[in-house]
Amino acid sequence: MPGKKKKAFENVYQFKITLRDIRPPIWRRIQVPETYSFWDFHVAVQDAMGWTDSHLHGFQMKDPKSHVEVDIGFPNEFSSEQHLGWKTAIAAYFSLKNPRATYTYDFGDNWEHMIILEKILQKEPGAEYPRCIKGKRACPPEDIGGVWGYEEYLEKLNNPDIRDEEDEYYDFDFDPEHFDCAEIAFDDPEKRLKNARILECF
């Protein structure tokens, strides 16, 4: 069965995504079509950062009309008034006058990302979007315990003498400094949405 035809677009939104509270910073610069929903954008952020999309997520940003902060993303117990990400366009919220949002992934580990819309550009002929054009440092491993757990993990990564039996499942071949845009593969957001089976629930 043929896939859904992609929406035509003329412009792309360039975002910088920075994982909060980690130094040196872990960040990505990506470009996505102006037609993207917040679900589409979520998938691009997950793929660019290196997360596995195994947990809930949400965007928090100011509504440009009401100037009230809203939650956009996947329905969850942490937000009773969640706007559905796959029904909400990024163009309805992001602009150069309203460029900032917080993206939270995994409400247990609570990975907070600062998102800034840097530019709105014309798409380049022949270019594939979304795309990552720059970034620094590797994404932390999943389920590591958030920022504090990651700091402890890095200490054990650099000092094998302080490791214990509970650390045997950790990947100590991890390189926190590694990042290469060429290694990023962006998934189809519609396919990811169907696999999540959320359309059957709402």
Instruction: Give the model confidence (pLDDT) of 124-175 as tens digits.
Output: 999 999 999 999 999 999 999 999 999 998 988 887 777 776 666 676 789 9
The answer to the question of residue 129 being in a domain is yes
d(CA 13, CA 120): 5
For position 136, which CATH number holds? 3.10.290.30
Evaluate whether residue 3 is within a structural domain.
no
C-alpha closest to that of 119 among 62, 34, 187, 199: 34
- Residue 98: name the closest of 80, 84, 115, 73 by CA: 115
Domain that holds residue 29: 11-200
pLDDT tens sequence across 100-112? 999 999 999 999 9
Question: For the chain, what is the domain count?
Answer: 1
Nearest partner of 86 among 99, 75, 101, 100, judged by Cα:
75
